Amino acid sequence: MRVKSLVAIASLHETLLEKIRMRTARAGVIGLGYVGLPLAMAIAQSGFAVTGFDIDPGKIVMIEDGRSYIEAVPDAVLSHCVREDRFQATVDFARLSECDVIIICVPTPLTRHRDPDLSFIVRTCGSIAETLRSGQLIVLESTTYPGTTNDVVRPILEKTGLKSGQDFFLGFSPEREDPGNRDFKTSSIPKIVAGDGADASEVMAAFYGASFKTVVPVSSNATAEAVKLTENIFRAVNIALVNELKVVYEAMGIDIWEVIDAAKTKPFGYMPFYPGPGLGGHCIPIDPFYLTWKSREYELPTRFIELAGEINSAMPGHIVDRLAEALDTRQGKALSRSRVLVVGLAYKKNVPDIRESPSLKLIELIEARGGTTSYHDPYVESIPSTRRYKSLEGRLSLPLTEEAITGFDAVLIATDHDSIDYAALARWSPLIIDTRNAFGNRQLGGANIVKA
């Protein structure tokens, strides 16, 4: 019986490897957002047939029409993959049974108390379990704490009676998308891969190696999960450091932007990070707290991470204080009687992504102090529904005209989109609070511009 079992496992393993080599394996991508849709396109373009799964029927309609809602995926690429029958999308999760490889790209937010919210992963794994069959590879790409793949995903799938490493293969590969970064395509970013056992690891390397230029295998799923957290914790801590330095140097009358520009001329031992109005996006404000939560299980403190979180979370409040001070000293006007235009709603420039954007917090803080706000963002026509800022839903982006700008007491630059006419803003606005050095980077100056 033992020999027969080993032969069966080897057969499943070799069969899937051969399907991958011949590009006859069908891939399923669950969650067609900023991570899932670009990933699905990269896999489809490498020769595999891909089925995308999402709970939003609106996305399915747009995909069927060849219209992309993700900036990193051009309409031409999407429509070509759909037309060539390399990519199709559905809300019917029963079709997961058709897929040889299933990749999970669903959100992993935090609860109000900064605990991991794995509900999307748990529900998705439940859907996979309903059609799980022998020989499939199941991959988690959603960012999470070390141990999630083996300790959370595997037990849900094994409730079916099928066993990881025996009947199906289980792996983890962290997403590394950077919305708005045109220097890298999804397939050109080195891909970390790991599997639950040697066979799963080999299948993971073969599958991702067929679509990605570089594959970096690591020893375990937990290691791969830790890689992703380490990357984003590194960024969060260093951004907190320059945010703290900004506040200190500000008090000393020193321009932090000039300091960084000079420091980065050193060809070794220094990497530039830049301050801002707070952290945003789907990774850096969230991922570090996955490790702080997990570390409690081992009774180990994560002081650097928690302190960095406190500093970065405090930045919107510091910016609003600077705004109030500038209105008072330069215009003799209280924030409570002022109209403020927030320029940039997205969390970073040149993208429409508002997840965890500090701009939303800035608007909330200004209005809590009695000020009136509007916003302009060329990428965000109206504020969509969010979990934390329900009251802002539906507000519309204001056009940047001279008549509109002169009607505000101050303009607050929260996101430095390249398409903004900063020279016109400098002419029209009586007071500008620049949190991104947008004007300095364009050699624009003026007595009405305050760096914050």
Asked whether 126 and 158 are in contact (CB, 8 A), the reply is no
Cβ count within 10 A of residue 186:
23
pLDDT tens digits, 24-64 = 999 999 999 999 999 999 999 999 999 999 999 999 999 99
**Is residue 182 pLDDT above 90, yes or no?**
no
Are domains 2-219 and 233-451 of this chain identical in fold?
yes
Q: What is the largest CA-CA distance in the chain?
A: 87
Instruction: Indicate which residue of 81, 99, 125, 283 is catalytic.
Output: 283
Asked whether 70 and 29 are in contact (CB, 8 A), the reply is no
330: tokens are: 């330069």
Domain with residues 233-451, CATH architecture: 3-Layer(aba) Sandwich (3.40)
Residue 175 CA to residue 191 CA, distance in Å, equals 8
- SS3 assignment, position 290: helix
pLDDT in the model for residue 5: 55
pLDDT in the model for residue 3: 46
pTM value is 0.91
Amino acid found at 57? P
- Residue-by-residue DSSP string for 191-234: EEEEESSHHHHHHHHHHHHTT-S-EEE-S-HHHHHHHHHHHHHH
pLDDT tens digits, 96-133 = 999 999 999 999 988 877 889 999 999 999 999 999 99
Cβ count within 10 A of residue 62:
17
**CATH homologous superfamily of 2-219:** NAD(P)-binding Rossmann-like Domain (3.40.50.720)
Give the CA radius of gyration of the chain: 24
Select from 398, 400, 438, 392 the least CA-distant residue to 418: 438
How are strands ordered across the β-sheet holding 410-413?
372-376, 339-343, 410-413, 432-434, 449-451
283 is catalytic: yes
Phi, psi of 339 (to 5 degrees): -105, 130
The residues spanned by each domain of the chain are: 2-219, 233-451
